[in-house]
Structure 1
Amino acid sequence: MGSHLRFYEAGEVIFHQGETSDCAYVIEHGKVDIFIEDESLDTLVVGDLFGEMGVLDQKPRSTSARALTQVALLKVKTNQITERLQGSDPIVKALVRVLLKRFRSLLSNDTSLDSDVLFSEVESVIEDAGLTKIKLESELRTAIGNQQIETVYQPINDIATGDIAGFEALSRWEHPDKGVISPFEFITLAEETDLIVDVGRLVFERACQVLSRLPEHYFININVSPKQLDNDLFLQHVVNLMKQNGVAPSRLKLEITETMVVDFEQANEWIHKCKALGFPICADDFGTGHSGMQQLVELDFDVLKVDQVFIRNMFENKKYATVLQSIARIGTDLGMKLVAEGVEEKEQYQSLKLLGFDYGQGYYFGRPMSESDVLKLTEK
C-alpha cells in the first residue's frame, strides 16, 4: 500500500481544474478542500473519495483540490473503478451515468462527453439497459399485485411404478408486450429485491389450495430463496396456509439450490428451521455447484434432486454415468430419496430405475401444466 500513498503539506495543491484525470484518491489522514477558482465547494475528511468523476468519464478535472492540513492520500487507479463499474448491474451503471451528466452540467456549460472512454459507443445501450431493468422491475411488481404471475405444475413420477407422485410448482410470466419472460430473468430480478417474497406467497398460496384438492399421497415441490428463508413472517404465513387448507407440511417439499449453499452454518439454520415446521428439504440441482459431496455430510437433506446435466449425458459420456452411479449409491446409503431431473427418453428412465432412483421429472413424464389439468389428471 505504501507505494500508492501520496503526501501533501497544508496549502499544497493536489490537482488543478482542467488537469488530466488519471486517478482518484481516498483520504487516509488529514482534510482536503475541493474548490473552483477561489470558491470552496466542500471539505473532505478521512475515508472520503474524491477525483472520481474524471476517472469515470476521462474528462479534465472539473474542480481543484488542496490539502487543508497535512494529508496522506491513497491513490485509486482508473481501472480499479471503471472495471468494477463495467461489471456492475445495468441499473447502477445507468444511475452513475445520469448523475455524472447532471453534475457536469451544473459545473459547466460543456456537457459534451465525447472523450468518454468507459461509456464510449455503448452509453445509450448502458442507460437503456438500466432503465429497461428498472421498468421491468416495476412491471413485475404490478404483475405480482394483480396476480398475473402464473403457477404451473410439472409432474414428478414414481420411478418404480411410472405413476405421478407429485409436482413441482413453477412460476411463469407472460408480459403484455414482451410475451413470455424467461423464468430465469424474472426470478433473478425478483431475488435481487424483496419481490421474491411476494412471488413466493403467490406460489405457496396456490400450491396449498391445489394440495387440499388432491388425494393425500400427492406432494408439491417449491423452490425457496434465501430472502424467503430469512423471513420468519414468510414461513409462518406458509404454516398458516397449510393449517387453513388442512394440508400436512410433509406434502410440501422445499427445494434449496446448491448455489444457495455458500455458508454451511447459514444453510443448516434454514434447514433446521424448515424441518422443525414439518417441511421435507430437497437439495436441488445437485452436482453442479462447488460444494458437492460436502453438502451431503454437512446438511440434513431428505431428498437429493440430481441435476439434468447428468441424466442428459449419461449415454454420451461414461464419466457422467459413473458419477451418476456414485451419487445414487451415496444418496441411498445416506437414506435420501433420489430424484432425477430432465428425464426425456425411455432409455434414461429404465437406467434410472436400475440405479434405484425414487422419482423422475422431465418431458418424458410430462410438461408443466395448469391447475385444472393437474386436478383432471389426478381425479380418482
Structure 2
Amino acid sequence: MSHQAGPPQGHPVGDKVLMHVAAVLKSALDVSDQVSRIGGDEFAVMRRNVTAPDALALADHMIALIGTPFEIEGLLVSIQASAGVAMSPKDGVDTEQLFKRADIALYASKDAGKGTARLFATAMEDVFLRRERLKSEVAKALDAQEFEIEYQPVIEIATGRVCRFEALLRWNHPASGRVSPAEFIPVAEETGAIVAIGDWVIRKACLAAATWPGDVGVAVNVSVRQFEPTLPLKIAGALSDSGLNESRLEIEITESVLMQGSDESLAILHQIRSLGVRISLDDFGTGYSSLSYLQRFPFHKLKIDRSFISGTIGTSEARAIVRSVIQLGHSLGMKVTAEGVETVEQLERMRVKGCDEAQGFLFSASVPSDEVNHLILRLNNGCAAGASAAHA
C-alpha cells in the first residue's frame, strides 16, 4: 500500500504523516495481523485465514481511513492511498513471492487511479514485466535518438490566432513503434531518466520556437524529478543558446512539483520567473490543495484539466467548476487555458465563460517541428477568413 500526501512538506512533517498512516493502519487491524513499513511511503499488511473478497474489503477500508483528512501543524492534510493484494497459496507460497505479486497488483492499482485496490491477476505480471523492460530501454532511448518532439497549438479564443505551441514528447521504439507517453513518462520519472530527457526537451523546444513567428511561444512540461537547484541555469542556458526571447517560453508544472519539498520548489520557481519565463499550473482542479498553491506562488496561467472539458462539459458540476476556475484565475491576474477542446460547442462554452485560450483536437493534433510554420499559417488564415466572412 502506498500513499500520497497533501501540502505540508519537509522531513519533520513527512515523518508525522508516516506516523499518522501507521497509526491508522494499526487501528484497522486485528491483534494477530502484521503491519510494517517497507519503503518510503509503502506499508505491508499480512493477515492469515482470509478470503480474497475479505482482503479486498480490508484494503478498501484502510484506503478510506487513510483518506480521511487530518491536521498537522495547523494545516489540513489529505492523503490518497492505493493498495495491491496477493493471496497464498494461489499467488505464491513464500513471503518474497507474495510481496512481489502484491507489489505488481499495487502498480495496477495506481494505473487504475488513486484510491483503489486491486487483487493480483496473472495478466498484471505481463504489464509489470513490460514496465521493467521499458525501464532499461527508456534510459538508452535518448542516446539512441529515438525521441522526437511534436507541437500542439494553443489558440487565443478572442482572436482565433495561434499564441503558443505545447511541446509533447514522443518515443519511437525500434521494436514496438510508438510508445504512449502515459506509459513511458511515469517509467522515466521512476528511473530518473526524465531529468536528462527533460533537459533535452527544453533545449530542443527553445531552438524550434526560435524559428517561429515572434508572437508565437512554446510551452514545456517540467517533471517533479527535474526540479533541482540547477534547473533555472539549464533554462537560462537553453534560452541563451537558442536566442529565444525569455517571454516566449512557458514552463508548465503540476501540483506534484509543489508537493515535493515546497519551500525549495517555490524558490526554484521564483528563480525561473525572474528570468522572464512564464509559468503555468497544469491540470488545475484535479488536486486537493490548488488554492493553497495559488496563494503561495503568482502563476501566470491556469490550465483547466481536460476532464472538465472533454466528455463532461454537459454536466452541471463540470460547468460550475470551469466557471469558478476562470473567475478565480482572472481575479488573481492569471490567464486561463482550456485543454481538451474537441468540438465547436465546447469552444463556444469557453468563449461565453470568458476563458482566454483553448487547446485540443478541434484545432489540431500535435505535429512534427517541420510542420509548425505551415500550421500557423493555416490556422491564422482560417481565423482571418472567418473574421472577414463574419464582417461581411
Tell me which residue corresponds to 1:9: none
Q: Does 1:237 align with 2:234?
A: yes
Q: Summarize the Cα distance change of 1:299–1:120 in structure 2 as closer, same or farther, 3 Å threshold.
A: closer
Q: Does 1:339 align with 2:337?
A: yes
Question: What does the per-residue CA deviation read over 1:307-363, in whole Å, with 9 as the maximum and x for residues that have no partner?
Answer: 111112564211111121111111101000110000111111122112221110001
Q: State the distance in 2 between where 1:130 and 1:120 align.
A: 11
The one-letter amino acid paired with 1:252 is L
Q: Summarize the Cα distance change of 1:121–1:159 in structure 2 as closer, same or farther, 3 Å threshold.
A: closer
Q: State the distance in 2 between where 1:89 and 1:205 align.
A: 36
Q: Does 1:257 align with 2:258?
A: no
Q: State the distance in 2 between where 1:279 and 1:85 align.
A: 44
Q: How far apart are 1:89 and its partner, in Å?
A: 5.6
TM-score, normalisation: structure 1 = 0.67
Q: How far apart are 1:83 and its partner, in Å?
A: 7.2
Structure 2, unmatched stretches of 5+, are: 1-25, 33-47, 49-87, 108-118, 381-392
* Equivalent residue runs for 1:1-380 within 5 Å: 58=93, 85-88=100-103, 122=122, 126=125, 131-232=129-230, 234-263=231-260, 264-313=262-311, 315-378=313-376
Question: What does the per-residue CA deviation read over 1:190-248, in whole Å, with 9 as the maximum and x for residues that have no partner?
Answer: 1012210121122112111111111221111111012212151x442331121122112
Q: Is the 8 A contact 2:171 2:178 kept in 1?
A: yes
Q: State the distance in 2 between where 1:350 and 1:91 align.
A: 41
Q: Please identify the structure whose Cα radius of gyration is greater.
A: 1
Q: State the distance in 2 between where 1:213 and 1:193 align.
A: 33
Tell me which residue corresponds to 2:37: none
Q: State the distance in 2 between where 1:195 and 1:90 align.
A: 24
Q: Percent identity?
A: 32
Q: Which has the higher contact order (CA 8 A, sep 6+)?
A: 2
Q: Summarize the Cα distance change of 1:222–1:230 in structure 2 as closer, same or farther, 3 Å threshold.
A: same
Q: Is the 8 A contact 1:286 1:307 kept in 2?
A: yes
Q: Summarize the Cα distance change of 1:360–1:253 in structure 2 as closer, same or farther, 3 Å threshold.
A: same
Q: State the distance in 2 between where 1:198 and 1:290 align.
A: 30
The one-letter amino acid paired with 1:88 is D
Q: Summarize the Cα distance change of 1:323–1:125 in structure 2 as closer, same or farther, 3 Å threshold.
A: closer
Question: What does the per-residue CA deviation read over 1:130-154, in whole Å, with 9 as the maximum and x for residues that have no partner?
Answer: 5543332222222211221110000
> What is the number of residues matched between the two proteins?
287
Structure 1, unmatched stretches of 5+, are: 5-21, 23-53, 60-77, 93-118
Q: Summarize the Cα distance change of 1:268–1:121 in structure 2 as closer, same or farther, 3 Å threshold.
A: closer
Q: State the distance in 1 between where 2:98 and 2:158 align.
A: 53
Q: State the distance in 1 between where 2:363 and 2:264 align.
A: 35
Q: Summarize the Cα distance change of 1:294–1:240 in structure 2 as closer, same or farther, 3 Å threshold.
A: same
Q: Summarize the Cα distance change of 1:270–1:351 in structure 2 as closer, same or farther, 3 Å threshold.
A: same
Q: State the distance in 1 between where 2:127 and 2:364 align.
A: 36
Question: What does the per-residue CA deviation read over 1:276-318, in whole Å, with 9 as the maximum and x for residues that have no partner?
Answer: 2322110000011111322222332111000111112564211
Structure with a larger share of its residues in helix = 2
Q: Is the 8 A contact 1:283 1:305 kept in 2?
A: yes
Q: Summarize the Cα distance change of 1:340–1:256 in structure 2 as closer, same or farther, 3 Å threshold.
A: same
